[in-house]
Every structure is written in C-alpha cells, then in structure tokens.
Amino acid sequence: MRDPAADRACLESLYARYNRREYVSPDPLQFVLAYADPGDREIAGLVASSLAYGRVAMILRNVAFVLERLPSPARDLRDATRDGLRRRLRGLKHRWTTGAQMAALLWGAREVVRAHGSLGAFVRGAAGAQDGTILPALCALVRRIVAAGGRGAASLLPDPGNGSACKRLLMYARWMVRRDAVDPGGWDGVDPVLLVVPMDTHMHRICRSMRLTRRRTADLRAALEATGRFRLLVPSDPVRYDFPLTRLGIRSDADPGPFLGEWMRIRGRGRRGGEDGDCRRGAGARFHAGRDEGEGDPIVVQGKEGRGPVLLPAGVHPRLKQGTARL
C-alpha cells in the first residue's frame, strides 16, 4: 500500500540535498540568478529558456552572447528599436536559431511589457484558478509575443495549444513563479499550484522509473500525468521536486541509484532481478542493461554487501552507456 507521507519524505530528502545554488551550474538558470530586478530577470529568463536546447556549452555561450548585448535587459529592451535589436544580435547562431529570430522574440516581449508593465503582469492577468494549470495563460503570452514579434519569435516559443511538451516554456514559468533557494521568482501573484512539470528527456526517464507516468514519449500528456502525481503529494507546489530530480539525470556527481532504490522500496515496487537484466548477488555484481534500455524502466542490481538491491533507470545512470556497470 502506498504511503504518501513516506513518498514525500523520500522526495524531501532529495530536495534538501540538491535544491541548492551550488548545483545550478551548468543550468541556464544561472544567468537568471544574476539579476536582482524582476524586470531584468524575466527578460534574461526568456532568453535563457528559449536557447536551452542543444549542447550545454553552446547554450551557455549563446545566452551570454545575447545578455552581454543587453547589460540592463529591461531598460535596454525598453529603449531599443527593432532595427537596433537586429544589429546588436547579428552574429548569433544557435543551431537553427539566428540573431534575427532572437530579435523578433525580444521585440514581441518588449511590446507586451509596454502594454502590460511586465510579462509577469500579463501572465497574472491571464491565469485563472479555473484553468487548472498555467498552460492557457502561457498560450496567451506566446500568441501575444508572436503577434508583435513576427514569425521569427514563433521559432523560439512553442505554443502549448499545439500539444508541444513546451519544456523550455514551462521551465521558464517555474523559474519566474516559484521562489526558493534555486528558483528566484519575480512573477508575484501567479500561484505555483498552476505550474506543470517541464518534461525533458532526463525528467521523463526519472518519472518513468518512479512510475509517475506510463507515457513512452516526453510529451505534454506525460508532463500533465506526472504533475498530477506530484500534486497529490504537494498540492500547493507540484513542481517542487523538478530541479533536484533533474540533477540525477544531468550531473555526473549525482547518482540516481540510491534514491530510486529507496523510492521503489517504500512503495513496495522493487523487483529482485531477472525481469530487467542479469542480476547476481554478491559484492561488486555486474549487470547487463536489457532491451528496455533508454525507455526509463528500472533495472534491479545487487549492490555491494550490505546495500541490498539498487534500482537504476536505464539510459540515466552514466555507467550504463556500455551496457554494464559495477557498483
């Protein structure tokens, strides 16, 4: 039988360990944390989240490229001309994104800020408890920015109304709505209860391993399914555990094995070998990742003496790349 209190305690332990500024880098959130003013923060966050795809080094380099040309993002954008923005951002090339497209995005954001005072004020006015999530408000924001900025802006802002997972947009909303040791906030008056888990590949694999979604694709339906499960545990803050959980997937110094093993143990869902791979007892046992590798299904391995079985999600743990691991 499931014990919600035990589930929360397990997640709170992970939160206490990883929800710290020292674990932010190399997340593009680090750029947002550099600004004290909410107006600067929401523009920096829009830039950082919209470019959060591709190789990490490239993301950090190109976010820095844009923000170096907008030293005071809110003021510089307010005083900019459309042609001036294009000239400033000439030379930006982030995979298929160009400086002209980033200029279109920022011009659209500028027009929303000019009309409403801030992007946060627009979202606050568009968000309603009756909607259940922040998605309708984000749809409205995206469409207003694209209407003002043009087609170039659309390439950087997926519309939740089209069924996209909108991972970058939902991540941006998390940064701006929540306020804790990691998320800086800035959109006061927008209720965190409306937030939806940003579902990228790392989070999808973790959620599959935790049995929080059965979706095999990291799409919006998977994000909503996982959010619903988290909301049962923390109704007022369903994305509370997003940052610490994603550390397990992207940081080489964060081992997901012990956490997932404990999670499955308290839920009575652990399997003692045979189903997902070659599991042997004894110190330093090897295992082979089975055919489900990459799908997010957990693999049970026997740990070192005294540790008992450990569950690792295939495709998440860095030592699974060659199909075998030694614990």
Last residue of a domain, one of 191, 214, 247: 247
Q: Examine the domain organization and report whether 174 and 131 are in the same domain.
A: yes
Q: How far is CA 164 from CA 53, 244, 316, in A?
A: 15, 24, 23
Say how far apart CA 187 and CA 119 lie, in whole Å. Answer: 8
pLDDT at 253: 84
pLDDT at 272: 44
Q: Examine the domain organization and report whether 209 and 277 are in the same domain.
A: no
State the helix-helix crossing angle for 99-116 and 38-50, rounded to 10 degrees.
150
Last residue of a domain, one of 247, 272, 291: 247
pLDDT at 301: 34
Q: Examine the domain organization and report whether 64 and 46 are in the same domain.
A: yes
Say how far apart CA 50 and CA 168 lie, in whole Å. Answer: 6
Three-point CA angle 23, 27, 29, nearest 5°:
100
Instruction: With H, G, I as helix, E, B as strand and everything else as coil, classify residue 295.
Output: coil
Q: Examine the domain organization and report whether 177 and 288 are in the same domain.
A: no
Range of the domain at 286: 255-326
Q: Examine the domain organization and report whether 190 and 294 are in the same domain.
A: no
Q: Report how many domains make up the chain.
A: 2
Say how far apart CA 247 and CA 163 lie, in whole Å. Answer: 26
Q: Examine the domain organization and report whether 55 and 160 are in the same domain.
A: yes
Q: Examine the domain organization and report whether 227 and 311 are in the same domain.
A: no
Q: Examine the domain organization and report whether 137 and 198 are in the same domain.
A: yes
Q: Which two tokens stand for residue 286?
A: 């090897």
- Residue with structure tokens 């906030």? 185
- Count of alpha carbons within 13 angstroms of residue 132, beta-carbon side: 4
CA 126 to chain centre: 23
Q: Examine the domain organization and report whether 265 and 205 are in the same domain.
A: no
Q: Examine the domain organization and report whether 260 and 234 are in the same domain.
A: no
Do the Cβ atoms of 50 and 101 come closer than 8 Å? no
pLDDT at 140: 96
Low-confidence ranges of the chain (pLDDT < 70): 1-2, 269-327
Three-point CA angle 305, 324, 291, nearest 5°:
120
pLDDT at 151: 87
Q: Which two tokens stand for residue 84?
A: 């001036």
Q: Examine the domain organization and report whether 91 and 109 are in the same domain.
A: yes
Q: Examine the domain organization and report whether 94 and 135 are in the same domain.
A: yes
Last residue of a domain, one of 194, 214, 247: 247
